[in-house]
């Protein structure tokens, strides 16, 4: 996420339910760029949590690092939490600010906090740790296949996209219910709940992907069409969308980016999960 030129963007989505002191809010614009094509599926979650997860995270221009982040934490078999976010800035600059809050992100991801509670606490951390002209967009998801429930809270971040296994219907889930983290002290976030079934594929991303691929940032019609046309499974969906990102950014300078695709397996395993978590 950059802070180079103000414009209406995902950062401004929703006014939320909170109040308090408003901090400076420079909106963000991104310049897409060429990156190498690579995929690093998080195979540990296939074995331990009952989910197929494919995830790609890159700094600006395809470098390592940057201001994007995600965490994956196991709560029980078939029950995981995901936090995805984007610190304002790009490359080394964004990475430096991210390093000041990332330990707390990891701690909160393992704490058992609800998506809305997690974002509320993280908002306080960002407000206290980062300069007043810096902010972070983030969304927290909880996937519980046993309860057939997807819960999401969104702090000015790109919403998720879900494709249903039963009819391949594609829809947007979890639009922002509040400002990005660190802008309004005391901000609270609302949770949305959706049905979740085995075989449903959920795509999460930062706006480095969204703004490179999608002409209509509000409807996300191009990305939803790509998802509807993709082959079955999270890995295939991830591979297709990553390829589209490559096509759109070839020869240009890309922003930091993160792209994830998740799918619940038929039967999660029943191993010990108390200490298992992965974060990037």
pLDDT single digits (tens) 183-204: 998 999 999 999 999 999 999 9
Give the model's pLDDT for residue 48.
54
CB burial of residue 165 (10 Å; 0-12, 13-18, 19+): middle
Query: Is pLDDT at 267 greater than 90 in this prediction?
Result: no
Going by pLDDT thresholds of 50, 70 and 90, the confidence category of residue 222 is very high
pLDDT tens-place string over residues 64-115: 778 899 999 888 888 999 999 999 877 777 888 888 999 999 999 989 899 9
Residue 125 gets the label, from left (phi > 0), alpha (psi -120 to 50) or beta, of alpha
Whole-prediction pTM: 0.80
pLDDT tens-place string over residues 121-179: 999 999 999 988 899 999 999 999 999 999 999 999 999 999 999 999 999 999 999 99
Residue range 229-253: mean pLDDT, rounded: 90
Scored b (16 or more CB within 10 A) or e, 232-257 reads: eebbebbbbbbebbbebbeeeebbbb
Query: Is pLDDT at 25 greater than 50 in this prediction?
Result: no
Backbone angles phi, psi at 48, to 5 degrees: -100, -30
List the structure tokens of 136.
Answer: 């972070």
């Amino acid at each position: 996420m950059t802070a180079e030129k103000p414009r209406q963007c995902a950062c401004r989505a929703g006014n939320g339910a909170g109040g308090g002191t408003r901090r400076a809010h420079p909106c963000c614009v991104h310049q897409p760029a060429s990156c190498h094509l690579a995929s690093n599926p998080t195979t540990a979650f296939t074995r331990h949590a009952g989910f197929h997860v494919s995830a790609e995270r890159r700094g600006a221009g395809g470098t390592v690092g940057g201001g994007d982040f995600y965490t994956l934490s196991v709560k029980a078999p078939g029950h995981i939490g995901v936090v995805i976010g984007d610190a304002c800035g790009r490359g080394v600059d964004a990475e430096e600010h991210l390093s000041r809050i990332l330990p707390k992100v990891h701690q909160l991801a393992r704490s058992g906090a609800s998506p809305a509670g997690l974002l509320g606490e993280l908002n306080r951390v960002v407000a206290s740790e980062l300069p007043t002209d810096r902010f972070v967009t983030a969304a927290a998801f909880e996937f519980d296949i046993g309860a057939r429930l997807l819960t999401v809270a969104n702090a000015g971040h790109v919403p998720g996209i879900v494709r249903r296994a039963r009819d391949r219907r594609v829809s947007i889930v979890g639009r922002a219910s509040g400002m990005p983290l660190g802008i309004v002290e005391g901000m609270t976030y609302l949770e949305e709940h959706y049905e979740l079934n085995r075989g449903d594929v959920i795509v999460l991303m930062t706006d480095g992907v969204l703004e490179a691929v999608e002409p209509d940032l509000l409807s996300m019609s191009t990305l939803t069409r790509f998802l509807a046309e993709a082959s079955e499974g999270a890995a295939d969906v991830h591979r297709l969308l990553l390829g589209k990102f490559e096509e759109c950014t070839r020869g240009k300078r890309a922003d930091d980016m993160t792209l994830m695709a998740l799918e619940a397996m038929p039967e999660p395993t029943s191993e010990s999960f108390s200490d298992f978590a992965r974060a990037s």
